[in-house]
Chains A and B, each alone.
Chain A
């Protein structure tokens, strides 16, 4: 555990070096956020019947998505790991006296954490200060807020567990581009980044309910905005824990499988 912790700390420090990149990212995400909000505002303006999520909740939801983009994006990738696998340097990794699953998990986790640390506070600050119709709101109660925090952390862990599968699949396909693309397209759609899950048609909402993706990006933010009331949210947190155990378990198993047959590329 201590090894993983120090990997986490080291990677966090590396990630925090890229501050200019973070500023650029903040500008981009702020712009995306405002554009999306305006699009939904326009949709809501002449809506015939009341939509399943209020505009206020939706705005908060969208701002949270932008602020914690690093926690929810599947295409956020570590090219170094891909290079390790495709170039054969994976041999070095195998020599390390630490489990490769835990080591990579800590590494991916810290990248997302450092990126989010740099970006989320300025975006949230702006989102809380801009004029009324687009302003972000506080959660309805303390219980919602506490549940949101735990859901966010668990969601992040679930996401990293999912993204581990991208790296594991590269062992088989040897082509990082294809794997990330498929994961990103499918994952983003079912996690509600393209359109919020409450606005999807009924049948599609059912499909997303059976997949783990919505637990990462959609569920925590809806808990925050109060769209999911606390008792239901507690159930969701439970679902997150179950999925997390399941994903980590199968991930470890799959990694062991591919490593047994690993071909070290190159010399």
Chain B
């Protein structure tokens, strides 16, 4: 953990060297989800609601998933660009060091400019929380917090899986985008607007539904009959999701063949 903070400081310092470029990129990152959100706003302006969900409920959904995604893109960037390490044979260097590979990859790159994205989703989150018809209490706020945390873990898990694929394919695979970008795109709306097979896949295989749709039902008081505790605990499934991903990663590391020179 200590080591990770050292990596963190080091990377922050190095990226802060190009201050103007850093802030410009932050602002740019702010506007990427902003236009998506604006698009969503205009759609609600025209249609009013989506399958019984109103604007602020969906905005909360949007904010949770985008926050999780931006935190994950910021911290787990190393896994995202992992194929470069494999192609250049630099992963060998990491293997000979007496620390865990996961920690070192996490520390290899942190993308601080994603803070811009995070800001945007945080603003949406606050806006939605204040305007939604919900009496916020301690439990609901904790649930909200764990929804974001669970989301971060899921996205990180997918990034790790995609990176682990590089042990076999060397080149990074674009297919992973289906689950990262596609998952983000999909999970910004409540899951029940989709068809059965998508709902099932994203609840039981990749538990996006567990970090935003199901706990959201509890927060909004829409969970008819189900026990509240169960719904509150759902984000834990997102955190558990990372375990099999790590297992695949460690399996992959053992199969690694260097490409290096």
Contacts and interface: CB of A to CB of B under 8 A. Distances in A.
Asked if chains A and B come from one complex, the reply is yes
A46 B51 contact: yes
A38 B32 contact: no
Contacts of B181: 28
A195 B39 contact: yes
Given A28-B178, A38-B193, A43 B42 contact: no
Interface of B: prevailing SS: helix
B178 A175 contact: no
A206 to B, nearest CB: 14
Contacts of A195: 39-40, 42-43
Interface stretch (B8-16, B182-190, B236-244, B246-254): B182-190
Interface string B28-48: 110110011011101101111
A204 B42 CA distance: 10
Contacts of B186: 35
A34 to B, nearest CB: 8
B223 interface: no
A41 to B, nearest CB: 8
B39 A185 contact: no
B156 to A, nearest CB: 20
Nearest to A51: B46
Contact of A35 (B36, B47, B185): B185
A194 B175 contact: no
A32 B195 contact: no
A32 B179 CA distance: 10
A254 interface: no
Nearest to A204: B42
A253 interface: no
B32 A181 contact: yes
Interface in A13-31: 20-21, 24-25, 27-28, 31
Nearest to B187: A35
A52 B40 CA distance: 17
A39 B61 CA distance: 14
Interface in A27-60: 27-28, 31-32, 35-36, 38-39, 42-48, 51
Nearest to B175: A24
Interface residues of A, number: 34
Contact of B174 (A21, A48, A199): A21
Contact of A42 (B36, B171, B193): B193
Interface residues of B, number: 37
A185 B31 CA distance: 7
Binding site secondary structure of chain A:
helix
Contact of A178 (B24, B43, B175): B24
B193 A39 contact: yes
Contacts of A43: 43, 47, 50
A79 B138 CA distance: 49
B153 to A, nearest CB: 22
Nearest to A36: B185
A39 B51 contact: no
Nearest to B46: A199
B182 A31 contact: yes
A39 B189 contact: yes
A178 B21 contact: yes
Interface string B175-217: 1011001100110010001110010000000000000000000
Contacts of A20: 171
A117 interface: no
Interface string A155-188: 0000000000000000000010110011001001
A127 to B, nearest CB: 16
A101 interface: no
A28 B49 contact: no
B168 to A, nearest CB: 13
Contact of B182 (A24, A32, A177): A32
B45 A201 contact: yes
A47 B28 contact: no
A47 B51 CA distance: 9
Interface string A187-219: 011000011000111001000000000000000
B192 to A, nearest CB: 9
B47 A200 contact: no
B46 A28 contact: no
Given A35-B194, A42-B50, A181-B25, A25 B174 contact: yes
Given A43-B50, A189-B38, A200-B42, A182 B182 contact: no
Contacts of B173: 24
Contacts of A185: 28, 31-32, 35
Interface of B: 21, 24-25, 28-29, 31-32, 35-36, 38-40, 42-43, 45-52, 171, 173-175, 177-178, 181-182, 185-186, 189, 193-195, 198
12 contacts: A35-B185, A35-B198, A36-B185, A42-B50, A43-B43, A46-B49, A178-B21, A178-B24, A189-B38, A194-B36, A199-B42, A199-B46
